[in-house]
């Protein structure tokens, strides 16, 4: 009996082993690089749902760092042939990768996908570069204005303040700083780069024209917006200089209840709500001269170096991540904009809209949200802009002189880089 049982067991084990190996070989693995640390829970849920619906596809998600880290690591990974199959790419910086043939042209996939009819117009637009689709939007955002009503109340502002113009924002910031400065509380966080771009747009201008790619850094309205932003730190002293040299400090101070107002991406909504609870109020961006906000965030691109079957599997995932169901999970869990028109019809999104006041502000801004220019020189411009902003905000250089110089250098770089 014993002698018969042993070979049977061995045979059954071998059969099971080969079956497992066979199954593992049949599985397609998609290596996906992303940048979502705080929002990881919502992403994990989307991936789990996808894998449950597609058991033959395994998504290996890897947190790489922020958008800059992803770009840097991707550059090193490509020649080393260790690049992922799918990657999150910030909306203004994927042009270079598209130009270089690193990203797959997703147009054939996208055109055949019913998803395209469900996406908002703005969401379709951010994925298009030189007439072709290179990324499918995932986490879209606009800047919004957050304030801590507890801080405003302590500063004596109990009625809902008007925060529509630069003067309105400055006036409230001054009141907070005057009343609570002794406690180490400042009126407003120094605007980060995305917020600066939004404030320039609300002053009826742009950094680079999104249609013609003309450099508008030295246009009068851009200069005026920068002059106002720099004055918050240098002249009015209503914003901490710490947030100029490290933009995360401004956000962290707001979350710690040390700052009254913050202009930042709607992607910060969940974190801000967790940090300051019911004291969080979200308002649209100021409309100083016009109402106009930039669309930020990122989309998922697929690398052309991956085998065709992996690209197909990756697109299945990309499309699933942008579906109404997944987008509703993402919107409710993070505060990023819905990119799918049907997302807000889903139960989870409807609940979020009903129970999380302020989560809908970014959606209401979509009427005047615009995509930004994304020629390759944008990477250079955004990298150099930090130095320029610091020089102006810290009072080391005059705003007009700096912006004119910056514009000239950006034009030279655009010419040199041939874009």
Partner 1 sequence: MSSAASRFPLPLFAIDHVPPLVVTPAGSMLRKLTPYLFVAPLIAFIAMFTYIPIVSSLNLSFREWNFLSPEMPFVGIENYRLLLGSRDFWNSLRVTTIFTLISVPLRLGLALAIASYLVRETLPSRFLRGALFLPSVTSTVSIAVVFSWVFSTDYGLANAVLGHLGFGKVPWLQDPQLSLWVMIFVNTWKQLGYDIVIYIAGLQAVPQELYDATAVDGGRRFHVFRRVTLPLVMPTTYFLLVISVIEAFQVFTIVEVMTHGGPAGATDMLVNMLYRVGFVLFDIGTGSALAVLLFIFLIVLSFVKSRVIGRRVHYEA
Residue numbers at the binding site for partner 1 (CB under 8 A) = 68, 71-72, 75-76, 78-79, 96-97, 100-102, 184, 186, 240-242, 244-246, 249, 253, 258, 379-380, 383, 386-388, 390-391, 394, 396-397
Residues 142 and 121: their CA atoms lie apart, in Å, by 15
Nearest approach, Cβ of residue 56 and partner 1 (Å): 31
Cα distances (angstroms) measured from residue 157 to each of 150, 153, 169, 254: 9, 5, 13, 17
User: To 10 degrees, the CA torsion angle through 363, 367, 369, 375?
Assistant: 130
- Given a contact cutoff of 8 angstroms between Cβ atoms, the answer to whether 170 and 237 are in contact is no
- Say if residue 82 is exposed, middle or buried (CB neighbours under 10 Å; 0-12, 13-18, 19+): exposed
**Cα-based distances in Å from 300 to 37, 103, 171, 344:** 16, 10, 41, 21
- Measured CA to CA, the distance from residue 396 to residue 398 in angstroms comes to 7
Q: How far is the CB of 242 from partner 1 (least distance, A)?
A: 5
Q: Closest distance between partner 1 and the C-beta of residue 94, in Å?
A: 12
Q: How far is the CB of 98 from partner 1 (least distance, A)?
A: 10
At 185 the three-state DSSP class reads coil
Q: Least distance in Å: CB of 16 to partner 1?
A: 44
Quick one: DSSP state of residue 336?
P
Nearest Cα residue to 358 out of 280, 301, 255:
280
Q: How far is the CB of 169 from partner 1 (least distance, A)?
A: 19
Query: How far are the Cα atoms of 18, 71, 252 from residue 63, in angstroms, in the given order?
Result: 33, 13, 21
Length of the chain: 419
User: Measured from the CB atom, is 282 or 388 closer to partner 1?
Assistant: 388
406/6 Cα distance (integer angstroms): 79
Nearer Cβ to partner 1 (207/339): 207
The residues, ordered by sequence, that sit 6+ positions from 2 with a Cβ below 8 Å of its Cβ are none
What stretch of H or E contains 148? strand 143-148
The answer to whether 203 and 221 have CB atoms below 8 angstroms apart is yes
CA distances from 391 to 115, 199, 267, 397, 405 (A): 45, 18, 28, 5, 12
In angstroms, the CA 197 to CA 1 distance is 80
Please say which residue, 45 or 132, places its beta carbon nearer to partner 1: 132
Give least dist CB 390 to partner 1, A. 4
Q: Which two tokens stand for residue 94?
A: 């994927």
Q: Quick one: 51 or 105, whose CB is closer to partner 1?
A: 105
Of the pair 172, 244, the CB lying nearest partner 1 is at: 244
- Minimum CB–partner distance for residue 268 and partner 1 (Å): 19
Nearest approach in angstroms of CB 42 to partner 1 is 27
Question: Considering beta carbons, is residue 19 or 76 the nearer one to partner 1?
Answer: 76
For residues 186 and 292, which CB has a smaller minimum distance to partner 1 in the complex?
186
Nearer to partner 1, 229 or 359 (CB): 229
Instruction: Tell the smallest beta-carbon distance from residue 93 to partner 1 (Å).
Output: 10
User: Would you say 304 or 356 has its CB closer to partner 1?
Assistant: 304
Judged by beta carbon, residue 30 or residue 388, the one nearer partner 1 is 388
Burial label, 277 (beta-carbon count in 10 A; 0-12, 13-18, 19+): exposed
């Amino acid at each position: 009996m014993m002698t018969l049982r042993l070979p049977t067991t061995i045979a059954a084990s071998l059969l099971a082993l080969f079956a497992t190996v066979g199954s593992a070989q049949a599985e397609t693995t998609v290596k996906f690089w992303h940048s979502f640390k705080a929002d990881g829970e919502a992403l994990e849920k989307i991936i789990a749902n996808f894998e449950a619906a597609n058991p033959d596809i395994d998504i290996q998600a890897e947190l790489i760092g922020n958008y800059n880290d992803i770009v840097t690591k991707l550059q090193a990974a490509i020649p080393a042939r260790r690049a992922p199959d799918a990657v999150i790419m910030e909306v203004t910086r994927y042009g270079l990768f598209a130009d270089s043939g690193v990203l797959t042209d997703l147009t054939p996939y996208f055109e055949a996908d019913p998803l395209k009819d469900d996406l908002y117009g703005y969401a379709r637009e951010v994925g298009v570069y030189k007439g072709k689709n290179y990324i499918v939007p995932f986490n879209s955002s606009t800047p919004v204005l957050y304030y801590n009503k507890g801080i405003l109340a302590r500063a004596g502002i109990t009625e809902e303040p008007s925060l529509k113009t630069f003067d309105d924002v400055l006036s409230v910031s001054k009141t907070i700083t005057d009343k609570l400065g002794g406690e180490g509380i400042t009126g407003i966080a120094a605007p980060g780069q995305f917020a600066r771009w939004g404030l320039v747009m609300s002053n009826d201008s742009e950094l680079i024209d999104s249609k013609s790619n003309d450099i508008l850094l030295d246009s009068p309205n851009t200069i005026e917006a920068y002059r106002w932003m720099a004055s918050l730190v240098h002249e009015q002293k209503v914003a901490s200089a710490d947030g100029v040299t490290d933009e995360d400090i401004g956000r962290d101070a707001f979350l710690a209840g040390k700052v009254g107002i913050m202009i930042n991406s709607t992607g910060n909504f969940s974190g801000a709500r967790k940090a300051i609870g019911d004291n969080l109020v979200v308002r649209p961006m100021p409309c100083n001269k016009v109402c106009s906000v930039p669309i930020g965030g990122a989309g998922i691109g697929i690398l052309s170096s991956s085998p065709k079957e992996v690209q197909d599997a990756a697109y299945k995932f990309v499309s699933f991540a942008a579906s109404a169901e997944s987008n509703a999970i993402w919107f409710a869990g993070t505060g990023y904009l819905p990119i799918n028109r049907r997302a807000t019809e889903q139960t989870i999104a409807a609940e979020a809209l009903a129970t999380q006041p302020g989560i809908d502000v970014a959606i209401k801004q979509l009427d005047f949200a615009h995509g930004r220019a994304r020629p390759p020189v944008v990477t250079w411009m955004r990298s150099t802009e930090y130095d320029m902003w610091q020089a102006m905000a810290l009072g080391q250089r005059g705003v007009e002189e700096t912006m004119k110089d910056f514009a000239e250098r950006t034009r030279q770089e655009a010419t040199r880089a041939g874009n």
